[in-house]
Structure 1
């Protein structure tokens, strides 16, 4: 019973000590105008909030995320091929690669991945 009480007291004291130390260190910070102003990717937050946004860049970022996730899905296939080489696994892998290739061709024909224009 005594050990449980000591553990309980210590478990209350450590977070209290850490919280008190964080408050003490927070008040030592030098607060000036530059440190108090928010920073958002180089944009001045006090100006117009609705800046024009490039939808072309947004679509390119979405395409990158989709293809990045597909690459992550492709990573286990060599291990699967090394452990159990079956016709069904090969066909699934080739179908997945075909879908990726068709998506890439579609994006290329649409002009979404043309970086020159």
Structure 2
């Protein structure tokens, strides 16, 4: 028990000393400050924050997220077939597929899928 507490204390001291030595010997530069700024989607953090972005890109992103959720709903349907009655499984599958097709037709009608 005594040797375990000595080893834990020794490990803590060695790691603390290494961290302090690293902090004291590291070279600070002005580029490091730039690395610490947020970088998102290729936008420069030095520009104004409310820069306009492409609405087409936003729509494609939303459609992708919706499609991703659709896939996560449809994939487990095969596993549900064994644990439920055939009627309730068929009703659930047909309802989900109807909602997906209805959403696709709505997006198509509103022109969200046109690439012009």
Q: TM-score, normalised by structure 1?
A: 0.70
Matched residue SS, 1:50: coil
For the aligned residue pairs, the C-alpha RMSD in angstroms reads 2.9
Unaligned segments of structure 2, at least 5 residues: none
Unaligned segments of structure 1, at least 5 residues: none
Q: How does 1:1-117 map to 2 (within 5 A)?
A: 3=1, 14=11, 17-37=14-34, 38=37, 40=39, 41-81=41-81, 83-84=82-83, 86-114=86-114, 116-117=115-116
The CA deviation string for residues 53-84 of structure 1, in whole angstroms up to 9 with x for no partner, is: 22332232122112201211111111223x24
Aligned residues: 112
Tell me: CA distance 1:30–1:102, structure 2 relative to 1, closer, same or farther (3 Å).
same
Tell me: CA distance 1:44–1:12, structure 2 relative to 1, closer, same or farther (3 Å).
same
Kindly indicate whether structure 1 or structure 2 has the higher relative contact order, using CA contacts under 8 Å at least 6 residues apart: 1
Q: TM-score, normalised by structure 2?
A: 0.70
Tell me: CA distance 1:35–1:79, structure 2 relative to 1, closer, same or farther (3 Å).
same
